Structure 1
């Protein structure tokens, strides 16, 4: 029976027949390489979502309030990034970034809410 060869470094090693890597280091290095592009996209998106959440959290200390679009814009809020949408029975639409949300009002105003 031949020894398995590590997918990362190419070295032979002793281990189970279905083992693919000689060490945790090689396994991590291999997986980091094959997932690099998608991980950057995911990491960047998550960073932007966290920034949106922090902005809403800062502007909404009382769990419900009203702010202007200008206030959100000046902090760098990205309206294109949300985690969910909630539509009420009265057809009001709330956009959420995790547990912090907003509803568009008239005159460039936004109602901020927090889900518990």
Structure 2
């Protein structure tokens, strides 16, 4: 049969309307629950990494402006792909921020480093 549709949850033949996807309300519910779990897992992963990043930026930037080797932060679990927003200065440098703590990747004497800063009021303009 060319038009055979199977339930994506239990693989049973779906009978009824042509646009029907699941064989039963139970399978539809299972699918929605599974999708919600995947979404929640992704949210928790991102949230966890943002908290780690903020904690490390705060730990290493007590003065409000400092420089640190990139490798040192990475070894402690910092992931620069996770940030909340960015700010571009007049020179065109893009600082990435994790809430109020920011970082800018630079090269200094052949080594990759981060300049760490704290959000300032003038950055809102």
Q: Is the structural similarity TM-score above 0.5?
A: yes
Counterpart for residue 39 of structure 1: 40
Tell me by how many angstroms 1:35 deviates. Answer: 2.5
Unaligned runs of 5+ in 1: 1-30
* Normalised TM-score (structure 1): 0.66
Whole-angstrom CA distance in 2 between matches of 1:82 and 1:89: 21
Whole-angstrom CA distance in 1 between matches of 2:114 and 2:96: 11
* Normalised TM-score (structure 2): 0.62
SS of corresponding position for 1:86? strand
1:32–1:67 CA distance, 2 compared to 1 (3 A)? same
Moved over 3 A (4+): 31-34
Tell me by how many angstroms 1:33 deviates. Answer: 6.6
Q: How many residues align?
A: 86
CA RMSD after TM alignment: 1.8
